[in-house]
Amino acid sequence: MFLNLSVEDRHKLVNDNNLCPNCLRPGHLIKDCFFGPCQQCKQKHNSLLHKDSLNCVNTSSHNASSTSQLKSTVLHSSLNQTQNTPLPVLTRPVLLSTALIEVLDDNNKRHTARALLDNGSQHCFVSETFCKRIKYTKFLQSTVRISGVGQSVSHSNKLCDLIIHSKLNDFSTSVQCFVLPRITSFLPPVSIDVETIRIPNNIELADPTYYLPSEVDLLIGADLFWEILNDNKIRLKSGPYLQDTKLGWLISGPIYTNKMRCKQNIQCNFTQTIDLQLRQFWELEDSGPRENIFTCDERKCEEIFKNTTKREIDGRFSVRIPLKESADLLGDSYSVAYKRFLSLERKLERMPQYKRMYADFIREYRDLGHMTKINEYSDPHYFLPHHGVFRESSTTTKLRVVFDASCATTSDKSLNDLQFIGPRLQNDIFSILLRFRQYYWVASADVEKMFRQTLIHEDQRNLQLILWRESSSDPIDVYRLNTVTYGTASAPYLSMRCLQQVAQECDDEKISRIIKEDFYVDDLITGCDDPAELINICEKISQILRQYCYPLRKWTFNCDVTSTNSSKELAIGEHTQTKTLGLGWHNKNDLLHFTSELGKNCDNTQLTKRKMLS
């Protein structure tokens, strides 16, 4: 069909199908084509496109062979168009600059890392896998949003300072890296035939294994890239360049050889596919009811809860930590917990008031029986590092101690890695707030120390060990946490699931519905159009939850309950300005409010919605 066309129509077909005018194949430009020129005029186009002849292909046996190849190519092209599938993109391999370097760990021991040098990146990055492999722990906190090719976005919440050394000379420098789960896919994407690349004998490559697909541990960006470069550069006949650097010679660039032309993936990494982003967007916008469609892991987690949960004599729930893997996979956790405790202790010594609040919290934890001092423990066990979170707005506990169950052990496994997270059980906060506004009379309260009101089975408590002493002159004691612990992956699920179990076992249909629908984790927000009925509802909820050792506190109403026959169960306090699900609430005049940081010097004429939201 192609041979029967006029030369003009052949040109049009080649252009319409984005084919190379020289070899009539797709996937490259004419300037990159390796095939020979036209047999008639020696110009860079195919003989079948020569305008002075309609059929110069028959001038030689070589061109007859080209015709056979041409028919195959045109047939393949038409088939692809018929099936509406894209043509395979044939590209020559392009080498990116990689180097083998040495990185120091916490103990100044050297580890080999494979680095990608990229002056198109503004910063340096290191993979989380590599940090775990060298057991690096000196991280700083980060909240960086990273934008890449095609506006793809990823986030880094850790930052670290690394010292790197050349493997070939005495060059070393420090570099600040953002931590990412992964830098990029394997480089190069396919193995390179080294016989096609002739490197001079006196060249010592920074990465002698540049031709083998391997993982990238570190990315050196423009903040260090130019400091590493030296002046010398060599262009190889096969295409790529050799660049002298303080890490050795880098090899980078395209490889010009017919053998190496192949299908390969372009190195552009995206964090989410469009369909996933759209699905999450619609889920975010949807405020309608959702069905409880559990995943396989969520069903297993539910089965563990149903089959193992029991109630103690005092009515308290006792649950198991839902493990998806054996706790025997945990390595040594004491060393990291010990180092972090000493660091915490030094911080507390510098801040006496902070130390006093911290000690009071731990003392209360112990006095309530939520943790127990022990002299020995058995395997498997796990030590939880801990730190304090100060909350100025809290009306009860200003400082809360939280526990880090995500801290990796020597086996690279943490306690959180072994747990099922469980299905999402908390109610939709938007729906709770809407119901909160539909009633004339409303009330709010929260469950006192909700997580710690639920016991963990005794045979699993060795997975919740901590180190503590009030004075640096005392020996360090080991304590075992007896209850659901804030900071473990399954804690929110276990607490909410116990609350739902209370609702299921409640005989009063109305109270059961309120417990099931009007709680957001430990916060209760409910209401009624009759103040006397509201007080009655609150007293019933308080009594039922107390039977399961979930005491409600910080009761707040928008009506005067002193004139009613309310019992002391409600423990009404003076909270004229309180917080309700993160919103400020003036309970006397029943108004929701936000606290603004706008100062007196703010120019109100320039006040915009964007400024208010920020």
Greatest CA separation found in the chain? 111
Lowest mean pLDDT, pick from 251-255, 328-332, 506-510: 251-255
Q: Are 404 and 487 in contact (CB under 8 A)?
A: yes
What is the mean pLDDT of the segment spanning 337-347? 92
Q: How confident is the model at residue 198 (pLDDT cuts 50, 70, 90)?
A: confident
In total, the chain counts a number of residues equal to 614
Is residue 365 exposed (0-12), middle (13-18) or buried (19+ Cβ within 10 Å)?
buried
pLDDT of residue 65: 39
More confident: 263 or 586: 586
Assign 267 to helix, strand or coil.
coil
Cβ-based neighbours of 537, under 8 Å, separated by 6 or more: 510, 511, 514, 526, 528
- How does pLDDT run across 253-269, given as a tens digit for each residue? 887 755 544 444 444 44
pLDDT of residue 562: 60
pLDDT of residue 274: 59
d(CA 303, CA 298): 9
d(CA 188, CA 361): 54
Q: Which residue is listed with tokens 């541990």?
A: 217
Q: How confident is the model at residue 278 (pLDDT cuts 50, 70, 90)?
A: low
Q: Residue 379 pLDDT > 50, yes or no? A: yes
d(CA 568, CA 89): 77
Residue 242 CB-half CA count within 13 A: 21
Q: Residue 71 pLDDT > 60, yes or no? A: no
pTM here? 0.52
More confident: 175 or 607: 175
b/e map 406-420, b = 16+ CB within 10 Å: ebbbeeebbbbbbbb
Assign 277 to helix, strand or coil.
helix
Identity of the amino acid at 217: D
pLDDT of residue 527: 87
Q: Cα angle vertex 583, ends 486, 439, to 5°?
A: 110
pLDDT of residue 371: 93
Q: Which two tokens stand for residue 168?
A: 């070939």
d(CA 508, CA 514): 10
Q: Are 376 and 364 in contact (CB under 8 A)?
A: no
Q: Are 578 and 586 in contact (CB under 8 A)?
A: no
Q: Residue 346 pLDDT > 50, yes or no? A: yes
pLDDT of residue 91: 55
d(CA 442, CA 535): 10
Q: Residue 70 pLDDT > 70, yes or no? A: no
Identity of the amino acid at 77: S
Closest by CA to 236, choosing from 287, 199, 263, 182, is 199
Q: Mean of the per-residue pLDDT values for the chain?
A: 80
d(CA 340, CA 20): 63
- How does pLDDT run across 443-474, given as a tens digit for each residue? 888 898 899 999 999 999 999 999 999 988 89
Closest by CA to 593, choosing from 613, 572, 608, 578, is 578
Q: Are 395 and 578 in contact (CB under 8 A)?
A: yes
Q: What are phi and psi of 226, to 5 degrees?
A: -75, -25
Closest by CA to 173, choosing from 119, 223, 133, is 223
d(CA 570, CA 542): 7
pLDDT of residue 426: 76
